Amino acid sequence: MATIDEEMSQLEKDIRQLKIEYDQYFGGGRKRPPTEIEWRIETIIKRYGERGGEMKFGQRFRYNNLTQTYAKYKDVFRKKLQQKEEGKVQRHFGAAAKAIEAERAKAAAEAHPATPQPTSFRMVCSEPEREADKVDQLYQAFQQAMQQTGGSIKQSRENFSEFVSKKTKELQKQKNCREVEYVVEVVNGEVKLKALVKT
């Protein structure tokens, strides 16, 4: 039978191994989470949780440190698993790119706390000069989509208005229609602005 010190060393090794295997799992290198090691760790923790009185001060101190480390890891793994199940896990970037991505998402969330990031926005107009509100909404949706993908709009609000006005008249003349629908959407990480004829 293993001594308490041997069991603690095994526990420490298992916790380290668990972290490595979970990182592999989240990185796509493993098909299943490492439940076997997790079960082994839980068993040892439970056993010594009930036999705390048998441990010397140093052993109890080591045991407490290990259980705290495990609890901390477990919380991180649980959150990551939840994200994976909900399909929110981002593709595997380098650490620097991940940090930039997180920073960008945070800034976007702070700038527009109540606005969910749209994947597509639609607006129909027939006289853009008289429908400034609609053109404003289109400009904001376009700007938001650009920020979401890490870009920025080169045009000013005025230039954008002129473009919409010109494009609308052009299509009305060409296609002999009254209304033009503008669509802002993100396709494969790229922002597209389309003008469609409403028949």
* 31-39 LR contacts (CB < 8 Å, sep 24+): 33/77, 33/81
Radius of gyration of the chain (CA): 28
Closest CA to 47 of 74, 7, 18: 7
User: Does some domain include residue 141?
Assistant: yes
Whether the pLDDT of residue 117 is over 50: the answer is no
Each residue's pLDDT tens digit, 32-44? 888 899 999 999 9
User: Does some domain include residue 105?
Assistant: no
Number of domains in the chain: 2
User: Does some domain include residue 97?
Assistant: no
Say if residue 120 is in the same domain as residue 78.
no
pLDDT at 96: 57
Say if residue 52 is in the same domain as residue 13.
yes
Q: Which range has the worst mean pLDDT, 82-96, 119-133, 139-153?
A: 82-96
pLDDT at 153: 74
Pair of tokens at residue 171 = 């299509």
Say if residue 132 is in the same domain as residue 64.
no
Which of 54, 89, 124 is the last residue before a domain boundary?
89
* Residue 63 banded pLDDT, cuts 50, 70, 90: very high
Say if residue 21 is in the same domain as residue 83.
yes
User: Does some domain include residue 127?
Assistant: yes
> 33 lies in which domain range?
4-89
- Is there a contact between 89 and 26 (Cβ–Cβ < 8 Å)? yes
pLDDT at 145: 82
User: Does some domain include residue 103?
Assistant: no
Which of 89, 124, 157 is the last residue before a domain boundary?
89
Which of 74, 89, 104 is the last residue before a domain boundary?
89
Its pTM stands at: 0.43
User: Does some domain include residue 151?
Assistant: yes
User: Does some domain include residue 110?
Assistant: no
Of all residues in the chain, the percent with pLDDT exceeding 90 is 33
pLDDT at 169: 92
